Structure 1
Amino acid sequence: MSIAGTNELRRNSLGLLAVTFMVISAAAPLTGVAGAMPLAFMLGNGAGIPATFVFVTLVMLAFSAGYVAMSRHVTNAGAFYAYAARGLGGRTAGAIAIVALVAYNAMQFGLIGLLGGIASGVFGELGLTLPWWGWSLIAVLLVGILGYRQVDLSAKVLVAAVVLEYVVVLIVDFAILSKGGASGLALNIFDPKAMFSGSLTAAVLFCLGSFIGFEATTIYAEEAREPEKTIPRATYLSVLMIGVFFVFTTWLMIVGVGADKLVPTIQALPDPSAFFFNLAAEYVGGPVPTIAGLLLVSSLFAALSAFHNYIARYSYVAGREGLLPAAFGRTHDAHQSPHVGSVVQTIGALIVLAIFAGLGLDPVLNMFTWISQIGTLGV
């Protein structure tokens, strides 16, 4: 797996925090809190979600132990592909690379629709009116520009986006904590009995989905400083940051409305994603709900950019190894970015967007739901 001299990714350009936040951006913390968690409460095990997150976090840490052990021996932007090539041979590794490319593209295409649907509503309330595909088009082009340029530029944008996501959610969390919630700060929701109520299977799937993207720390191995140290630390740190954040936040979301009223309250909403924003309005008020809506759009943009980076780097390795045309295995002369994979992914995103917009399909119910299911299965 040699790398041609001039066709190298930008070495020593990403530190520990940059790698960590770039992969957390794919998990889209605010999107998970506002979009996925109300459904997890309603379709999963209700007040047992925080305990489920504790369990899933421990599982992810156990997986990470073996994963980072491999990363110390194989430094390659192909991640799973490179590990499979070393242990299982080229044919299996090639199949894994194709599955990864299809899955990450599907996740990215689906998120384009979700961003457009949410952005049209959020910006529409502020008087900025565009059809959903207009917002999606803007996002695709901006993501393409960032992906084409140096990776450290993308890193700065993604770090800022993720930090703001955490800040707005934690403001709501601590407001609920300081006011004691609806009926006190009950800890009994961490009881295993709560975890095994309702549908534990659905709950585990929603919780696992909140970690999607953390496995991509190894994709940045060739661009990280001291990758043998940075990648393992970033992997563990991202798992802990995602896990602890969701344990803490889901607990306080339950406390905010009361465990006994949790599921009925969400079921009564015309849109379950309004649950978090209602809590923000009740416990914080002011401009926070509006700011949270804007940050939800930026959260989706960060996730789009993260998956775009994954795709570009997998394409680069696939071109370098002969799985795709050799052009994919070349880097930009000035930016040292996998620019060919970036441009091709952007073109693919524009084509998918044009098809769904041209057919008049719903960006959330159709584009996001249909395509992202393929991505989730692949990951």
Structure 2
Amino acid sequence: MSTSVDTRSTALKGNLGVAGIVFLVLAAVAPLTGMIVIASLAIALGSGGGTPAMFAVMTVILLLFSVGYAQMAKQLTNAGGFYAFVVKGLGRTAGLVAAMIAVVGYNCFVAGAVGTSGFFSAVVFESFTGLSTPWWAWSLGWVVLAWIFTRSGIDFSAKILGVALILEVIILIALDIAILAQTGFAPEAWAPTAWAGPTMGLGLLFAGTAFLGFEATGLFGEEARDPKRTIPRATYAAILAIGVLAVVTTWAFVSAMGVGDAQEVALEHLASGDLVFMLSDTYLGPVLTAVMQVLLIVSLFAALLALHNSATRYLYAMGRVGVFPGALSQTREKTGSPVVASTTQFAFSVVVAMLFAVAGADPILTLVPAFTGLGTLGIIVMQAIAVVAVIVHFRRRRDPRWLTTLVLPAIGAIGLWVVTALAFANFGMMAGSEDPLIGALPWLLPIAAVAGLVIAYATRSRAPRVWQALDQDLDRVGLEVAVETPLR
């Protein structure tokens, strides 16, 4: 059965510039949360006093990757992000495999973010008032607020996220300046003796984790002004902003603790998770530390909203071409917000979180490590597949720009596949849990890949027009496509 899609009710709307997209991406990265959680882990379990060097290396790897990404982004504008890149470079079957991995990764990440925001909100609220509140009540409240924001359109979300991002970055910069003024930054953090060692691989892995979310720049291309120029610029800006902030801030942390003692000090605070708050209390004082605790909640909500926007656009893109139910592509006419996909995505996340709540499980020991860890791994795998697709695409076209379409992206690809291998090998540590069930979660990604293969076979044989539309739907700038919805 073939149906024509009313493009007036399925078109995304937005007027995002480079700054707006960077705000959306950096909010998903959640700099304050990253430094409080990921940087602490990296120093304790990774390269210790040499952690700034690992963040610098990861910045270079992703900048090299983004060279090829930028060239592809100039050709494709699609809410499916890396899924569209993989279709273009490796074909429709590989594209659907990547899409299923992305759907699993992002949706699990949001479910984990629902638990994280609720848990820390309850903890901070109790620290200020002495009143104990259920974490799941906070989670539901943040989900409702985020859902309302998404209905108002992506431009509104970008403004909210921009404010949250500025506040959390300001407090980190204040801490960096305070440490610089009182103790200075230790140059020995860059010496090979500081970062070279058996745990260097873990240090690189944690550094890579801190960048997760930068790849979402492409997801907002259809809602951007002049996407062929905006998306590449936003990608470079996002990676540089994350990298510079992470390098400077971790350098400040290890300098404050002493490069040689940083790992031991971080290990002492690992269980309580208060390493950064301890440093803040010492260098900024208790008042600004309390402000930092509040901003942590703001950061977590911003990450929830931004990650939800990313996950929603994969559902929307799959619905638009008919691979998923076509209703997922419906948008709110006034704002262009993909309201059906948004509601569906949040419904999944809430159901998952409430199942853990009903079971009486501690979210920070179960829900958060399980689903955030799996989401992290899924996104890393998707990035690694996408960079291969970019290289293959330009080689097939015999593109003469060897440096920007092969050499530099290939170096970035090697780095990403190394991070992918490290993530699989150290998934339990990355997820923060030694539970064997959590350790087995990476197997869900091969299952998702198999599901992608099954969907590809079913679509090709039972809905050939949809199969053909997977290619035709790639570049959405000025494009109106009638798609067929399969499997009614």
**Which TM-score bucket, shorter chain as reference?**
over 0.9
Contact 2:83-2:95 at 8 Å conserved across structures:
yes
SS of residue matched to 2:186: coil
SS at match of 1:332: coil
| 1:342 pairs with 2:342 | yes
The 10-residue stretch of structure 1 (244-253 or 33-42) with the greater mean CA deviation from structure 2 = 33-42
Deviation at 1:5, TM superposition (A): 3.0
Matched, 1:168 2:162: no
| Corresponding letter in the other structure for 2:126 | G
Offset of 1:129 from its aligned partner?
3.8
Match of 1:6 in 2: 8
Structure 1 portions without partners, runs of 5+: none
Structure 1: distance between partners of 2:292 and 2:113:
18
Give the Cα–Cα distance (whole angstroms) in 2 for the partners of residues 203 and 261 of structure 1.
16
Tell me how far apart the structure 2 counterparts of residues 264 and 94 of structure 1 sit (CA, whole Å): 45
Deviation at 1:104, TM superposition (A): 0.3
Match of 1:287, SS?
helix
Number of corresponding residues: 375
- 2: distance between equivalents of 1:11 and 1:47? 46
- Contact 1:48/1:197 (CA < 8 Å) preserved in 2? no
Q: Tell me the residue number matched to 2:219.
A: 219
- Report if the CA contact (8 A) 1:12-1:226 is conserved: no
Look up the equivalent residue of 2:240 and give its one-letter code.
L
Partner residue in 1 for 2:410: none
For 1:272 and 1:191, the matched residues in 2 are separated by 30
Instruction: Report the 3-state secondary structure (helix = DSSP H, G, I; strand = E; otherwise coil) of the residue aligned with 1:362.
Output: coil
1:321-360 matched pairs, under 5 angstroms:
321-360=321-360
Instruction: Show the counterpart of 1:267.
Output: 267
1:177 matched to 2:180: yes
State the Cα distance separating 1:261 from its structure 2 match.
2.3
* Aligned counterparts, 1:1-379, within 5 A: 5-127=7-129, 129-180=132-183, 184-269=184-269, 271-379=271-379
Q: 1:264 Cα deviation (Å)?
A: 2.2
Q: Matches of 2:269 and 2:243 in 1, distance apart?
A: 27
What SS does the corresponding residue of 1:202 show, helix, strand or coil?
A: helix
- State the SS of the aligned residue for 1:225: coil
The alpha-carbon deviation at position 4 of structure 1 amounts to: 5.1
Q: Give the CA deviation at 1:267.
A: 2.4
| Distance (Å, rounded) in 2 between the aligned partners of 1:109 and 1:350 | 7
Out of 238-247 and 347-356, give the one that drifted further: 347-356
SS in 2 for 1:336: coil
Mean CA deviation greater in 2-11 or 184-193: 2-11
Structure 2 gaps of 5+ residues are 380-488
Give distance in 2, aligned partners of 1:267 and 1:210. 19
Q: Which has the larger radius of gyration?
A: 2
Change (3 A) 1:9 1:287: farther
CA–CA distance in structure 2, aligned partners of residues 90 and 270 of structure 1: 44
Matched position secondary structure for 1:6:
helix
Q: Which whole-Å CA distance do the structure 1 matches of 2:6 and 2:327 have between them?
A: 13
Confirm or deny: 8 A CA contact 1:319 1:327 kept in the other structure.
yes
Cα displacement (A) at 1:272: 4.8
C-alpha distance in 2, partners of 1:3/1:197? 57
Distance verdict in 2 for CA 1:55–1:10, change over 3 Å? same
In 2, the alpha carbon distance for the partners of 1:235 and 1:352 equals 32
Cα displacement (A) at 1:201: 1.0
Structure 1 position 270, deviation (Å): 6.4
Post-superposition CA distance 1:264-316 (Å, at most 9, x none): 22222363521111111111104111110111111111111111101111111
Counterpart residue type for residue 15 of structure 1:
G
Equivalent residues of 1:173, 1:252 under 8 A apart: yes
Preserved contact between residue 76 and residue 218 of structure 1 (Cα < 8 Å): yes
**Maintained 8 Å contact 1:30/1:169:** yes
8 A contact 2:29–2:211 mirrored in 1: yes
Larger RCO, structure (CA 8 Å, separation 6 or more):
1
Q: 2:274 & 2:282 partners in 1: Cα distance?
A: 12
Question: Which amino acid letter does the alignment assign opposite residue 315 of structure 1?
Answer: L
1:140 touches 1:349 (CA, 8 Å); kept in 2? Answer: no
The 1:51/1:133 distance shift into structure 2, 3 A limit, reads same
C-alpha displacement of 1:197: 2.7
2:401 alignment partner in structure 1: none
Inter-partner Cα distance in structure 2 for 1:109 and 1:185: 38
Contact in 1 for aligned 2:49/2:258 (Cα 8 Å): no
Structure 2 counterpart of 1:134, one-letter code? A
**Which letter maps to 1:224?**
A
Q: Distance in 2 between matches of 1:82 and 1:164?
A: 34
Tell me the TM-score normalized by structure 1.
Answer: 0.95
Which aligned runs of 4 or more in structure 1 are off by greater than 6 angstroms? Answer: none
Change (3 A) 1:3 1:81: farther
Report the TM-score when normalising by structure 2: 0.75
